[in-house]
A = this chain, B = another copy of it.
Amino acid sequence: MIDVSPLNWTELDRRAVDTVRVLAADAVEEVGSGHPGTAMSLAPAAYLLYQKVMNLDPADDQWLGRDRFVLSAGHSSLTQYIQLYLAGIELELEDIKALRTWGSKTPGHPEYRHSQGVEITTGPLGQGLASAVGMAYAARKERGLLDPDAAAGTSPFDHFIYAIASDGDLQEGVTSEASSLAGLQELGNLIVIWDDNKISIEDDTNIAFTEDVLQRYQAYGWHTESVDFTHGGTEYREDVDALYAAIAAAKAETGKPTLIRLRTIIGWPAPTKQNTGAIHGSAIGAEELAATKKVLGFDPEKHFEVSDEVIEHTRAQVRERAAQRRQAWDSDYDAWRTANPEGAALLDRLRERALPQGWTDSLPSFEEGKEVSTRKASGSVLTALADTLPELWGGSADLAGSNNTTMDGQPSFLPVARSSKKFPGDPYGRTLHFGIREHAMASILNGIVLHGLTRPYGGTFLTFSDYMRAGVRLAALMGAPSTFVWTHDSIGLGEDGPTHQPVEHLTALRAIPGLDVVRPADAAETVYAWQGIIERTDRPAGIILTRQNVPNPARGDGAASGSTLASAAGTLRGAYVLAEAAELQDGLPQVVLLATGSEVQLALEAREVLAAEGIGARVVSVPSQEWFDEQEAEYREQVLPAAVRARVSVEAGIAMSWRHLIGDAGRSISLEHYGASADYQTLYEKFGITTDAVVAAAKDSL
């Protein structure tokens, strides 16, 4: 599917590109805010990609064979919107006019699936490029799942990931991390155009960005190309042939990702504001707008002027290219389906993010009464699911053995030459190695998810979720089911001390709208935690796991009753009555103890002590507040009866996220300050997170 036909760039194409510039300036002028400059100067590059390079089908925005486009420079959303309009992919001129207004299809930054053709939400700089690396991972992985034996470039699953990046994207650390991995992974399917315009919001980038970017990317193992529209400062001529040739060379380089430096002048050809920070993020003003139109041969009095000839040309061009490519691709694809009925069935399942019938039968169970850390239980779950869910894959930011994120016996996703003794590699392997790059891990996971077919996970210590936060938030905003495995979830990690002990993190993560935070109490809950995460396909989740061993107590098959603990299946509802009070009054306990993770054992012990004193304490295990919030009011009332105001939360972190569940009469056994370096038993004792403290708090709450 690699198209290397010569570029046919007509006068009408040139006119269309100028139309893009005028539309961009008009749209920002209309709403009074936005980013015209880059949209103007990137017009030829974006037009080239959409009209002459990428495989897209305006009739099928979810075409499996499509190339992916990532506008990492998300502030320049018009760069994408106007191309979608010209290509006939959902957007119309009215949408361009409605830029950045309530309810429009054209928000300030591109938003994932808010309109067709937008493959990812971008705007926070660096995220797009880092996630584009993830998409390139995913393209290779999906090919490996479905068509591994096809020769390079011959599979219906072969395509390219194109990204446009700004100076800002290349300054952000997350792209450094991801780009280093892209080089190591030899991602020949990734092509990035860097808009080197030497202007950012603080104007001339000489004050903040003077490194040799191409040399840096060469150091990462990338192929680099350079195209200079300023021709060494002698004249501004948009040499689209040179850019097209650079893209062709990038496609031909199948063993390395490519960075194409494209030297532009921001805002060209606006007569006075080009090449200034002023045109980056503000309307250019009526006078400058009129002058720009004059330069381009447009009527300065007209706004949003698109000639019929131009729009007909661009839409027909995309339609015809799509038809050609679809014909070839559909035939390849049909042949593949016929030859690979099992692969086709798998593909159909993965496209819907459906799970195989009876998949939960593969889930493991754990010996009751035997202590095991929840991280270890989690690792057993992953290994147990390896055959059943081929779409599940992942790894760690250099903490594989600590996070228990490796499925036993699965090869690593690596070029063979990057193997190590411990981790044999395979380009289609399953274990991901992110190195010590937590932020890129989050963004790469997002890119893998958005690409479409698989479910990746990535692990680090909970405290380092701080490094990932911008990526985690984007997953939540997009509703992308990335899974974050966060182990070493409290002072329970012990001796590494306060830099490594999360204290505020559970609350800070619960604060992110749309993120499920799941902290199972024991091995049995860990199984259901994974089930609940895998079953939910419209949002990300973090699974929060202990380093230290915790009890895996004997449980009954149903609800809690007498001294019998409830089944761990209640995990799926976010919170459930794990142990009922020994004595009820009017059917109610006197006090409810709410706990998560390793602190559930303290609540269970406290229940016994309280029972001996004649106080009926119910223990509610709360692995996920978010899942509990989804339940019907009736169930919630059953678990947390409004009439029982005596409540205690028990969690080795700050109490902030518990106040709404425990109410004014409630008490919290929590940790409101940083931890310390010592064995964890000492820390729990010294910091007052003990059974005795829970008992005292329960009495105080009565």
Interface window among A52-60, A148-156, A592-600, A668-676? A668-676
Could you tell me the distance in whole angstroms from the C-beta of A553 to the nearest C-beta in chain B?
27
| Complex: chain B residue closest to A434, CB-CB | B208
Asked whether, in the complex, the Cβ of A507 is within 8 Å of the Cβ of B511, the reply is yes
Say how far A680's CB is from chain B's closest CB, in angstroms.
11
Instruction: Provide the residues of chain B in CB contact with A31, threshold 8 Å.
Output: 495
- Counting CB contacts under 8 A, is A677 at the interface? yes
Residues of B within 8 A of A203 (CB): 420-423
Residues of B within 8 A of A686 (CB): 102
Q: A699 on the interface (CB 8 Å rule)?
A: no
How far apart are the CA atoms of A412 and B202 in the complex, in Å? Answer: 12
A108 B500 Cβ-Cβ under 8 A: yes
With A and B bound together, what is the CA distance between A464 and B124 in angstroms?
Answer: 8
From B425, B494, B499, B508, A511 is in contact (CB under 8 Å) with B508
Indicate if A219 sits at the interface (CB-CB under 8 A). Answer: yes
The B-contacting residues of A in range 557-598, CB under 8 angstroms, are: none
State in angstroms the CA–CA spacing of A202 and B474 once bound together: 28
Which residues of chain B are within 8 angstroms of A400 by Cβ–Cβ distance? 201-202
Interface centre among A436, A439, A673 (most CB of B within 10 A): A436
* A2→B439 CA distance, assembly (Å): 39
Q: Does the CB pair A435–B122 fall under 8 Å?
A: no
Binds B, one of A16-24, A176-184, A309-317, A326-334: A176-184
Q: Does A221 contact B (CB under 8 A)?
A: yes
Cβ contact within 8 Å between A654 and B511: yes
Contact B398 A201 (CB under 8 A): yes
Contact between B434 and A33, CB atoms less than 8 A apart:
no
Q: Is A200 an interface residue (CB 8 A)?
A: yes
Task: Provide the bound-state CA to CA distance between A202 and B204, in Å.
Answer: 42
| Residues of A bordering B, CB below 8 Å | 31, 33-34, 74-75, 100-104, 107-109, 111, 121-126, 167-169, 171-177, 180-181, 183-184, 200-213, 215-216, 218-221, 277, 396, 398-402, 412, 414, 418-423, 425, 433-437, 439-440, 463-464, 466-467, 469-470, 473-474, 477, 494-500, 503-504, 507-508, 510-514, 654, 656-657, 659-660, 663-664, 672-674, 676-679, 682-683, 686
- Ranked nearest first, the 10 interchain pairs of A and B with the lowest CB-CB distance are A173-B173, A107-B677, A208-B435, A123-B499, A204-B420, A659-B659, A176-B176, A102-B678, A168-B436, A215-B219
In the complex, 6 of the A-B residue pairs with CB atoms within 8 angstroms, ordered by the A residue number, are: A100-B497, A111-B498, A125-B436, A204-B422, A656-B657, A656-B660
